[in-house]
Amino acid sequence: MRTDAGNLQQRVPERLGQEEIDRLSSSFNGMLERLALSFEAEREAKEQMRRFTADASHELRTPLTSIHGFLEVLLRGASVKPEQLQSALSSMYGESVRMKKLIEDLLTLAKMDRAPELYLSRIRLDALVLEMEPQLRMLSGPRSVAFDLTAGITGEFDQDKLKQVILNLFQNAVQHTNPVHGRIRVSLTSTEDEILLAVNDNGPGIPEEHLPHIFERFYRIDVARARKQGGAGLGLAISASMVEAHGGKITVATKAGEGTTFQVHLPLQQS
């Protein structure tokens, strides 16, 4: 038998007819199994970090390349032409805003990965959503927005993180609905076991092949649309991390041509 870090699949026989040897063989095989799982988890973590670093570098390189190009144009003399100067400055400002948002999102994910800090306080969730209503309606533009909130649902939550989750899910709905005919609905209910906060839209829905990946970092269904609106594919990943830190989860239900519902499941706390 040859066992090393590159070969942890072999096992010793566990039934040799001697009780002590059999127990030792079983323990040894159990140790090999745990080592194999540990090495596999380490390999997966390294691969995830490699992909994350590559994706983050790519996302940062895009606005930096754009800013660099506009600066070259200005240095060639466009700075003395007011219309070109204004256009270049506006574009560079937009790219810098996008880069700042990306860096903030990356820092948020790093904090959530390391040790999520929750500043808990007793919150009435319907009041929290209603407090955000003016901001959400402004983001929605001409889209129709409805709120269906059960009053009096309370719990110990991190107010700022829940607001960010709601904002991320709402912005996602805005990005994937028609500006004129779009309809977005925010609802809040509870069952015997959990609190359900949902954001529903009447967009095109999510193709089935994308569903296993939508909470992955930097994953975007429509790359062109996301880039146009400054998204880097981190909003859903951040939301999922924040909800999981509260002991909950986010699920998605979608149907082609009829829309998508993201539902936040939070544990119901006994008062």
Q: Is it the case that residue 225 has pLDDT exceeding 50? A: no
pTM above 0.95, yes or no: no
Helices 82-114, 19-75: axis angle to 10 degrees equals 170
CB-based contact 17:25 (threshold 8 Å)? no
Four-CA torsion 255, 176, 213, 51, nearest 10 degrees: 170
Amino acid identity of residue 189, one-letter, is T
Instruction: Report how far apart, in Å, the C-alpha atoms of 110 and of each of 103, 116, 237, 242 are.
Output: 10, 9, 12, 12
Distance CA 85, CA 30 (A): 68
**Better pLDDT: 132 or 216:** 132
- Could you tell me which of 64, 67, 59 has the C-alpha nearest to residue 92? 67
- Tell me the per-residue pLDDT of 109-145, one tens digit each, with 9 for 90 and over: 777 777 678 889 999 999 999 999 999 999 999 999 9
Mean pLDDT of the region 191-214? 91
User: 93-102, 141-150, 218-227: which range is least confident on average?
Assistant: 218-227
Q: Is it the case that residue 69 has pLDDT exceeding 80? A: yes
